Amino acid sequence: MILETAYRWRVALMAIGVGGLATVLRFANLGSPQALVFDEVFYARGAYSLLTLGFEGEWEGEDQAFASGDFSGLTDEGDYVVHPMIGKLLIAVGIQIFGPTPFGWRFMGALLGVVTVVMVAFIARHLLRSTLWGGVAGLLLAVDGEHIVLSRTALLDIFLTFFVVAGFGLLLVDRARTRELLSRADADLTGLGPRTGVRWWRLAAIVTFGLAVSVKWSGLWFAAAFLVLSVIWDWADRRAVGAERWFAGGLVRAVPAFLATLVLLPLTYLASWIPWFRSDGGYGRHWAETHPDEGATWLPDGLNSLLHYHQTAYQFHRTLDSPHNYESNPWLWPLQYRPTAFYFQDVPDADCGAERCVSAIHAVGHPLIWWAAAIVLVYALWRIVARRDLLALTVTVGVLAAWVPWLPYAHRTIFTFYTVAMAPFLVIMLAWGLKRLAQPERLRGSWWPPGAIAVAVFLGAVLVVAGFFAPVWIGDPIPFRYWQLHMWLPTWV
C-alpha cells in the first residue's frame, strides 16, 4: 500500500526530494561569512546602489566596510560597470526584503539556484522519459559544488544559469506542443507540411534568453545554440510524421522565429536598461549630449550614449588580460583543473577541534560528477557523429554552448566558475549516460544488472564525496589540515 502510494506520487516526491536537498545545501548558514566574498564587492554593492540611487554609483573607502553596515562610501558619481543589470536587480530584490546583509544579498541567488535544480530534474525527466532518471539529474546538480557555491554567492552567473535553463525548458514545452499538432491524423503532410500557428512557448523562450543576455552577454551563445537546436527538432519531427518536404517546411517555419528573435531579444535587453535611461547620474548617461558630433548621431541621444557605453564595455572584455591567481584555461574546464578560491580566512575563535581553524569557499565542481561527465561527453560526441543521435545532441548542446565559445579566449583573464552555466546541462548529459549504462539500448529499457550496480555505486560515492566537500563549498570553519585534504590536485591550492 505504501509503495503504491509512493509510486502514484513519485513525481511530487522526486521534486520535493531534490528540491529539499538543494535548499539545505544552498540556504544553510547563508549569511556566513559576514563579508563580501570574491566579486560580491561589485555586485552586492551595485545592487544596493540601484536601490538607493536608481543607478550604480562609485564607492569610496575600504571595500569590506559595506559588509559591516557602513554605506557611507557610496557616492552619486556613476560607476563604470561592464555587465547589464538584471542580475544586480535580482540581488536588489533580496536586499529590499531582508536588508543589506549577507543573507539579503545572497537570498535571490540561493532561491533561483534551488528552482534551477528542480527545473533540471523535470527537464531530464522529460528528455529521458523517466522520473527516476530525472531525479538522478536533479540530485547530481543539487550536490554539485560549482552550483552550490555560485548559488550562495551574490555573483551574476547563477542568474544567467537560471534563465538559460528556463529558456531551454520553454523550448522543450514548445516542441512537445508542436509534435502534438504534427501528429494529428488530419494533418496536411503535403507541400511544406502542417501549420503550427503562433508558437507562444518559443516566443517566451526568446524573451527568457533576452533576460539571460541582460545578465551577461554570454547568454547570446545559449540563445543561438538552443534556437538552432529547436529548428533541428522541427526537421526531425516533421520527418518522423512523414511530411513530404520536411526540410523546407521546417526551414520556412523557422523564419518567423528568427525575425521574432531579432525583435524580442533586443527589446528585452533594452528594457533591462530602463533604470539607466531613467537616471540622471548613470555612467555615460549623457555622453551623446557632451559629444554631439560623435557616435551614431542618427540615434536619439539616450540610445547613442548606450551604444557608446557598450562599445567601451566590449573593448574592456576583449582586452582583459590582467594576470590573476585563479585565471584558468577553458580547455581544461570540464576537468575543473583550476577552480576559483572565493574566500579563505583563518578563524582563530572557532572551535573546530584543531589548533588552526579556517573558513574556505572554493568554487570547485563535484570531482566525481565532472570527471565522469567528461567521459560521457566524449561518448555523446561519438554518438552524434557516428549515429546521428538526436537525443545525444540535445543533452550535449548546452554543455558545448557554455564551453566552446570561450576556447578562442584562452589568453584572456577568465575563470572556471563560469562553468556554473554548464553544470545543469552537464548533469543532464551525465544522467543520460548513466541510463544508457544501466538500461542499455540493446535491452530496450530493461535493466542490465552490472550496469545498474555500477550506477548505484557511483551515486553512493557522489553523495559521500559531496558530504566530504560540503564544508569548503559552504565555508564552515574546519581544521586547516582537513582543508588540505580537499586539495586533490596541486592546481586546486
The string of pLDDT tens digits covering residues 396-426 is 999 999 999 999 988 788 999 999 999 999 9
Cis peptide before 490 (omega within 30 of 0): no
pLDDT for the residue 293? 85
Give percent of the chain with pLDDT exceeding 70: 97
Start-to-end CA span in the chain (Å): 52
pLDDT for the residue 1? 62
| pLDDT tens track for 447-465 | 999 999 999 999 999 999 9
| H-assigned helices in 129-245 | 131-142, 145-151, 157-182, 200-213, 219-240
pLDDT for the residue 6? 72
Taking CA atoms, 338 is separated from 271, 331, 335, 341, 365, in Å, by 37, 11, 9, 9, 10
* Residue that is written with C-alpha cell 545532441 in the block: 393
In this structure, what C-alpha cell is assigned to residue 238? 516533421
Contact indicator for 28, 474 with CB cutoff of 8 Å: yes
**Comparing C-alpha atoms, which of 121, 203, 113, 224 is closest to residue 159?**
113
Band (pLDDT 50/70/90 cuts) for residue 63 is confident
Does an H or E element contain 345, and which?
A: strand 340-346
Residue 375 pLDDT exceeds 70: yes
Q: How far apart are CA 142 and CA 144, in angstroms?
A: 6
**Comparing C-alpha atoms, which of 126, 145, 143, 125 is closest to residue 135?**
125
In this structure, what C-alpha cell is assigned to residue 294? 560623435
Tell me which DSSP letter residue 341 carries: E
Residue 185 pLDDT exceeds 60: no
Checking DSSP bridges between strand 74-78 and strand 57-59, what pairing results, if any?
Answer: antiparallel
Give the bridge partners for 341, in sequence order: 362
| pLDDT tens track for 307-362 | 999 999 888 877 766 777 888 999 999 999 999 999 999 999 888 889 999 999 99
pLDDT for the residue 474? 96
Instruction: Output the CA torsion 169→170→176→178 (10° steps).
Output: -150
Can you give the pTM of this predicted structure? Answer: 0.96
Residues 6+ apart with CB under 8 A from 26: 110, 113, 114, 148, 151, 152
Contact indicator for 127, 432 with CB cutoff of 8 Å: yes
**Burial class for 412, CB neighbours closer than 10 Å (0-12, 13-18, 19+):** middle
CB burial string 62-91: b at 16+ within 10 A, e below:
eeebbbeeeeeebeeebbebbbbbbbbbbb
